[in-house]
Structure 1
Amino acid sequence: MQTKVQKYVVATVDEIPPGKRKIVNAGGRSIGVFNVNGEFFALRNRCPHGGAPLCEGVLSGFVQSRDRGNYSYSRKGEILRCPWHQWEFDVKTGQSWFDPVKTRVRTYEAKVEAGCSLAEHAGTEMREGPYIAETFPVSLEKDYIVIEIES
């Protein structure tokens, strides 16, 4: 069976600044799109543990200690905590930190594409005809975040 990939334009790059997120509906799924230091990641907005709206949870990082009294904070904004039971997931991979071998949340590829490239591949079919229309120049100058979902 051949899988079909559907693209969904979910936001402009400036709609989701670094450290922020946007929850969108794409392909009948609720998906959280996260900007982690200028890179975009997309996760299913459903915790695999209890069905909570995962992407509404707190974003944090890791506190690590090599010895007593010496702490460091790393991976800021990369760890998502479920709002119901506090299970933690890696925003970049969907991996669970509670049960990394068996539990993960579905991820989707999130790409940044130029508006003009989206317009070129919009799937419109051009037909010759006796049509006359007044035209105006159009430009798509923003970059857009696109999620790809296999069906």
Structure 2
Amino acid sequence: MSVEIIELNKGKSFKKEVSFIYNKDTISYDGEDISFVRPIAVSGDISSSGDVITLIAKVETELELTCSRCLEKFNYPLNLNLNEKFSFDEEIEDENIIILNNDNLDITEVVENSIILTLPMKKLCSEDCKGLCQNCGTNLNNQNCDCDKDIIDPRLAKLKQLFSDD
């Protein structure tokens, strides 16, 4: 959704309610396509005070992520609060203010960037996810495997001798 902010550019105090729902199929992040399970719902206000335009909004959606440990897909509900500041004045020295170069503010772009920024670094289907077996690739959440767990990297084999009980 794009908001025309010509009247906000004139330095007048102004407030406008923003509420919309839109569909997005996927979003690319870190070489991975992340799917949306539910539409993105945005509600809040856009206001102007002096040269600064403020967007305060709540964003709700649900994503389908891939677990970093077991590689299974899982749903990740996302509720985030936006508080973004914009200005047309390029001489403002506040690093938290985004400089605008036209009279339209694309809120969907701001929302999608915020969604990407709030994604967890390590995406886990659950805190106690066991992951995959390093040898056979079995998902250890679903079944156990018979692989030897004491396989040691040959470069570190001498260290094992230091800690042996013999």
Q: TM-score, normalised by structure 2?
A: 0.23
Greater radius of gyration (CA): 2
Q: Which has the higher contact order (CA 8 A, sep 6+)?
A: 1
- The structure that is strand-richer by fraction is 1
- The structure that is helix-richer by fraction is 2
